[in-house]
Amino acid sequence: MPPSLPGLHHITALSGAAQDTLNFYADVLGLRLVKRTVNFDDPMTHHLYYGDAVGRPGTLLTFFPWPQAQPGRPGAGMVQALSFGIPAGTLDDWADRLEAADVAIQRAERFGAPVLSFGDPSGLSLELVATDASNDTAWTEGPNPPEAPLQSLHAPTLPVFPDDRTPDLFTDLFGWEPVGTDGDRLRLQAPDAPLAPAVDLLRRDRHPSGRMGQGTVHHIAFRARNADEQAQWQAALRDRGVQVTEVKDRRYFQSIYFRDPDWTSGLLFEIATDGPGFLIDEDENTLGETLQLPSSLSNRRDEIEAALPTLVPPRP
């Protein structure tokens, strides 16, 4: 059995226009665009990565912009809401910042921590949660940097059915531990994870499946420290009858994917390696400034650039 999975790697969602997404996540939320590339399976579509100063696993939110798609419908089989941790005591400052940007917010409390809930321009459900998490590479140099930058992903909400084995997947295979309940929520946490260590399983009766479209989550990815560890997870899942893909080269990491009606409650899971990371084709100072393509697509650069919308970074 491999070591426990050390937390979240990234979450990938579908959005509307790429420029609207860039304006919101870079200017309003203060994340860094750490990579602009394309969907390797659909190279006429951007794949945009947002995160901390260097794009550390556990800070990454990525998007496939689908400006022609209809709005999606959250439901069974997809992440319900994704969260970012912010420093304790900064929730009111963030509320003021969001309201100044005409973002409607709602306040709540969960597991004893205050929460701000709101939507992005495509309708994706987001939350900011006051935590004691700390990230020394949080991005602080954007066009409109917040006084208290987002630290990392924090306990996204995964709807599961009570009779599914999704909790067992986390506890018996991933090596995560239950650390509390809040209503119908069960929080599970990876031991000794430096960033993004937790998920919330929201146990619900059977309800309609979601519909992919703008404002919905495509998949959630968990960390493997290296390729050897990832191969061990692939074998361990297959030993339990879970169908897992072959390894996919995503240039900045390599990935395996699996979806199972029982073990994942129909959600699409990914296990992605920590490396090689986002500095293999750009310097830290210039991350996200130009379109990066894998070698298999380099001979199509002119065609791809002509098809993609031009992105203009937000100005201070």
Residue 41: exposure state from Cβ atoms within 10 A (0-12, 13-18, ≥19): exposed
Question: Which of the four pLDDT bands, split at 50, 70 and 90, describes residue 192?
Answer: confident
What mean pLDDT is reported for the chain? 96
What pTM was estimated for this model as a whole? Answer: 0.97
Q: What is the pLDDT of residue 54?
A: 98
**Alpha-carbon torsion, ordered 231, 41, 312, 121, to 10 deg:** -80
Question: What are the extents of the domains in the chain?
Answer: 8-307
Q: What is the mean pLDDT of residues 240-247?
A: 97
Supply the DSSP string of 197-266, one letter for each residue.
Answer: -EEEEEE----PBPB-SBTEEEEEEEEESSHHHHHHHHHHHHHTT--BPPPEE-SSSEEEEEE-TTTSTT
Q: What is the mean pLDDT of residues 27-55?
A: 97
Report pLDDT digits (tens) over 252-299: 999 999 999 999 999 999 999 999 999 999 999 999 999 999 999 999
Domain 8-307 has CATH 3.10.180.10: yes
Q: What is the pLDDT of residue 69?
A: 95
Report pLDDT digits (tens) over 132-169: 889 999 999 988 999 999 999 999 999 999 999 999 99
Q: What is the pLDDT of residue 316?
A: 75
Q: Is 200 a residue whose pLDDT tops 80? A: yes
Q: What is the pLDDT of residue 204?
A: 87
Q: What is the pLDDT of residue 205?
A: 86
Q: What is the mean pLDDT of residues 11-36?
A: 97
Are 157 and 111 contacting, i.e. CB atoms less than 8 angstroms apart? no
Q: What is the pLDDT of residue 128?
A: 98
Q: What is the pLDDT of residue 149?
A: 97
